[in-house]
Structure 1
Amino acid sequence: MAKVELTPLRPWDDFFPSSERFAKPDVKDLTKWNNRVVNNLLYYQTNYLALAVVVFLIVGFLNPLGMFTAMAVVTGVFLGSVWAGENRAVINNFKRQNPTAFLIAVMFASYLLISMLGSVMVFMTAITLPLALIFAHSSFRLRNMKNKLENKIEGAGLKRSPMGILLEALGQQEENFQKIQSFLEGKLKD
């Protein structure tokens, strides 16, 4: 098994190039849109991490106690959902069949707990804003050849990254692994 390594920070002109490298996603083809998002999440993961850290630090500086509360609640709910997905067949099946709905349920549960603790605005700015920015970029950014090549390497298991592990925990990588495995098995038979 390949060791886990963080992808390099992509240059600004690759991460945010001119407008011809951005296009509206095809909302009628959710599979294609999901594929674009997942592949961009894998390719630009270090840039997204840097973006999230900057927003996180700014909000954390403005409200440290609320930030700690929000961070603890989201981490707890996420870890609880991953544990439940691994140990409960009903939840695992729901997660595989409806990954977006599962993620929304985790975010909603986090929101409810944080609202009870009085840190809703911190949650909205420190957690939701970076997620919204990352989702928007990964939805609109068209992939390039280097992006596609890096994702094939990750999908084949030759390289592992933190985002790949996270997406695997959310059930987003299994289809790619199955496609690659089927392709390789077909080539071996020929």
Structure 2
Amino acid sequence: MRKMATPSKENGAFEVAPLRSLDDFILESARFQVPNFRDLDKWGKRVYNNLVYYQSNYFLLALALFALVGLIHPLKMFLGLFAIAVACSLLVAASNGGPQVAKFKQDHPIISVIAILVGAYLIVYLLDGILVFLLGILLPFSATFVHASLRLRSLRNKLTNKMEQIGLKKSTPMGMILDALGFEAEIID
């Protein structure tokens, strides 16, 4: 039987972080405190480390909140997704159209104005669906940021984050996302 190589940061593989207990995440043993807004570095370190440590909990929380908004307003959620997808598609098509779009607008000005008015009407008509869809996306981000800001780090949290930073643990999805966004793990204590 062939032994498989273990994934590491060097070859781009990652490990899914374990799901932390509900007691550690939000219940009895969890400690919360409002961060010192004057010390942005310390607050940023707290948020970064909590995002890395509780990442599986945050992904699960995000899915649950998105699904909850979808269950409460399924039609509006679908219409919002549809409206945003259509708007993005039209924007890409118009930006890639170049001279053909300009020529069409010049040759058929009435059709162009009607298309713009119909598009604007649909956006206004679907605005409540768009807002529900955006709520479904922004609510998980907001809840995650608030929890990561308020949750004080435990000794286990600090130890796990240090192990990942020095390379004893494999890279995790949240670590890869934060690295892609430009947050360096080496400067976070």
Relative to the length of structure 1, the TM-score reads 0.62
Deviation, structure 1 residue 61: 3.0
Q: Measure the CA separation in 2 of the matches of 1:22 and 1:161.
A: 25
| Structure 2 residue aligned with 1:177 | 186
**8 Å Cα contact 2:35-2:43 kept in structure 1:** yes
Q: Which has the higher helix share?
A: 1
Q: Tell me: CA distance 1:18–1:178, structure 2 relative to 1, closer, same or farther (3 Å).
A: closer
Deviation, structure 1 residue 20: 7.0
Matched, 1:166 2:180: no
Q: Measure the CA separation in 1 of the matches of 2:16 and 2:81.
A: 22
Partner-residue secondary structure (3-state), 1:21: coil
Q: Tell me: CA distance 1:19–1:136, structure 2 relative to 1, closer, same or farther (3 Å).
A: farther
Q: Measure the CA separation in 2 of the matches of 1:34 and 1:133.
A: 16
**8 Å Cα contact 2:165-2:186 kept in structure 1:** yes
| Structure 2 residue aligned with 1:33 | 43
Relative to the length of structure 2, the TM-score reads 0.63
**8 Å Cα contact 1:40-1:138 kept in structure 2:** yes
**8 Å Cα contact 2:81-2:130 kept in structure 1:** no
Q: Aligned Cα RMSD in Å?
A: 2.8
Deviation, structure 1 residue 179: 7.3
Percent identical pairs in the alignment equals 45
Q: Measure the CA separation in 1 of the matches of 2:67 and 2:74.
A: 9
| Structure 2 residue aligned with 1:187 | none
**8 Å Cα contact 1:153-1:159 kept in structure 2:** no
Equivalenced residue count is: 139
| Structure 2 residue aligned with 1:48 | 58
Partner-residue secondary structure (3-state), 2:41: helix
Gap regions ≥5 residues in structure 2: 1-7, 89-122
Alignment of 1:38-187 (within 5 A): 38-64=48-74, 67=77, 118=127, 119-157=129-167, 158-172=169-183, 174=184, 176-177=185-186
Query: Which 10-residue stretch deviates more, 118-127 or 141-150?
Result: 118-127
Q: Tell me: CA distance 1:154–1:69, structure 2 relative to 1, closer, same or farther (3 Å).
A: farther
Structure possessing the higher radius of gyration over alpha carbons: 2
Deviation, structure 1 residue 37: 0.3
Q: Tell me: CA distance 1:156–1:66, structure 2 relative to 1, closer, same or farther (3 Å).
A: farther
Q: 1:177 corresponds to which letter in structure 2?
A: E
